Amino acid sequence: MAKKSSGKKLPAAASEHWGDEPEEHDYPAAASYLSLICAPPEVRRLVTALKAAPLERHEAKDLLRASGLALLPLDNFHVAADLEKIKRGVALSPVLLVRGDFTRDRLLVIADGYHRVCASYHVDENAPIPCHLAEAGVGGAARTSAQRGAPSVQ
């Protein structure tokens, strides 16, 4: 279970700490995660859709709330590594998402970039995060809040 944030925000190392396009290895990482929650044909469809999706921007606090995922603490290894990248001026890769659907009780899926979202939240929860967003198919990848079982960030 993830620890709660200390409530302290880190000083913003740079007003914009995001790159324009995901790194090529982000797509296989998203496919690996998605393969745990949907069938191979849907994984292929979603990854293709993510590659073609336009860049959108959403705040870290909204991504965490919509996904139902908890904020990872500053001392999480991957969050700390991403915070170090921000401090050094290295741009983070945009995150890859599968849209949720509240009418079906499906949460947003962060297919790749959960640690980057948490790192950005610790810098500025209101900063816009670049995302590529795909739509889940009928009976698609997004899981319900009951299936997720994770506490949401308020």
**Using CA atoms in the order 43, 129, 62, 117, what is the torsion angle rounded to 10 degrees?**
70
List average pLDDT for each run of 10 residues in the chain, which is 154 residues long.
47 68 96 96 96 96 96 97 95 96 90 97 94 80 40 42
- Where along the chain do its domains lie? 26-147
Q: How many CB atoms lie within 10 A of CB 43?
A: 20
Look at residue 39 in the predicted model and tell me its pLDDT: 96
Look at residue 152 in the predicted model and tell me its pLDDT: 42
Q: What are phi and psi of 57, to 5 degrees?
A: -130, 130
Q: Which residues does residue 56 pair with via DSSP β-bridges, in sequence order?
A: 131
Are residues 66 and 131 in contact, defined by beta-carbon separation less than 8 angstroms?
Answer: no
DSSP state of 104: G
Task: Residue count of the chain, please give it.
Answer: 154
Q: Which residues does residue 131 pair with via DSSP β-bridges, in sequence order?
A: 56, 95
DSSP secondary structure string for all residues of 17-85: -B-SS--TTHHHHHHHHHTTTS-HHHHHHHHHHHHHSPEEEEEHHHHHHHHTPPPPPTTSHHHHHHHHH
CATH number for the domain whose boundaries are 26-147: 3.90.1530
CA distance 85 to 91: 7
